[in-house]
Structure formats: C-alpha cells, structure tokens
Chains A and B, each alone.
Chain A
Amino acid sequence: QSALTQPASMSGSPGQSITISCTGTSSDVGSYNLVSWYQQHPGKAPKLMIYEGSKRPSGVSNRFSGSKSGNTASLTISGLQAEDEADYYCCSYAGSSTLVFGGGTKLTVL
C-alpha cells in the first residue's frame, strides 16, 4: 500500500496548461483503469474531478482531462484560472477492494 507518486508542487500562469503526473505500479495504476482525481481547496473536502481515468462527472469543467499510460496517470488542466489553485490528488484502485492515494500536488496559479 505505498502511496502513488505525484510532484509536490507545480505552477502555471493564467491561460496556460499544466499536466500533473501520478506514478504507481503494475499492482495499481498499471493494472486497472480506475484512477480518479480530486481537487481540494484549503479547509474544504475533496471534490471528484476525474474518474475511470478520463471521465468527468457532471458539472466539472471540460478544462480538466485525464489520461493513463502504463503505470502513470495524468491530469491536465487547460486554460488555467485563479480558481484552479488548489491541491490535487490522484487515487487508484489497488486490488482486494482497497484504494491508494497519491501524495498530492499543490498547484499555484501565478
């Protein structure tokens, strides 16, 4: 149950695109197309942004997209906006009815 690996921090200017990576193993990310991404603003509960690798829940902006290649999943935010500044976490099904989260990425919009 080792945490997935995410960059600790990233930054971008308004209007730019950024991609957050999430690296796991062949036991989690690599074995299942069951990666989800969560946005968390300070003092708030996490919010689901992407599920099943690339699907967006109703109400989530199409500026958010997800993908996966091998043991690495990615979250891309296009057209960065000030409101996107938050912490982002990936999460993968890890077998045996368990989940594993990434360490989180703090996104700063410059």
Chain B
Amino acid sequence: EVQLVESGGGLVQPGGSLRLSCAASGFTFSSYWMHWVRQAPGKGLVWVSRIDSDGSSTSYADSVKGRFTISRDNAKNTLYLQMNSLRAEDTAVYYCARVGKKWELDYWGQGTLVTVSS
C-alpha cells in the first residue's frame, strides 16, 4: 500500500525556517517524481514545487522561488522541503504527493500544518 507521511510542521516566527519531511513507503520511491502542494486555511490548493526521480531537476512556484528548496534522499525514501524566510502568507497545510506519468497527483499524504506567526 502506498503511504506518504509528512512531518516537521509547526509554529515559526516570520523570517524563520522549517524543514518538512515526507516519508514514502509501499512503492519504489526512487522511480517517481514528487511534488509539494499547500493549502492555506479555508483556501484552495496551490502547487509549490516538484523534483524529478533522482533529484537532479526541480521546479518552484514563483511565490516560493529563492526561499524554498525541495530535495530527496532516495536511500531513506524521504522527500524534503526546506523553507526559509517564512512569511505569514506561507501559513498552510503542506501536502506531499506522488506524480504519475500524465502529471496526475495519484497519492497524497495527510498533510502537515505550518503556521507562521509572531
């Protein structure tokens, strides 16, 4: 069974940093591209970032470019999102998701809440 479990969320002050993790199991993690998607409280889904299967290529939404870094450790079956210079508008539930061949996000984690507030 495919499972994605996020962790690392919490309360952080504006300007601070946080690293999210997404532990994958039930599939060959190193064969799949992975994404991060976020959802502010009461708002819609927003695509954040994506990484290819070996970590050599990444993409970011304009809103996080230069502040967030996506990475992965295929030996540990884990996806990461390093978030720096956090702003109040980064407050959201962050989901990791596996992407299929047709750019569909076929499996999602349960999400981890990041709150940026003083």
Contact = CB atoms under 8 A, between A and B. Distances in A.
**A and B found bound together:** yes
Counting contact residues on chain A (CB < 8 A from B), the size range is 20 to 34
B106 interface: yes
Contact of A101 (B45, B57, B104, B109): B45
Nearest to B46: A101
Interface of A is mostly: strand
B61 A36 contact: no
Interface stretch (A68-76, A77-85, A88-96): A88-96
A36 B108 CA distance: 14
Contact of A89 (B45, B109, B111): B45
B79 to A, nearest CB: 15
Interface of B: 35, 37, 44-47, 50, 52, 57, 59, 61-62, 95, 100, 102-106, 108-111
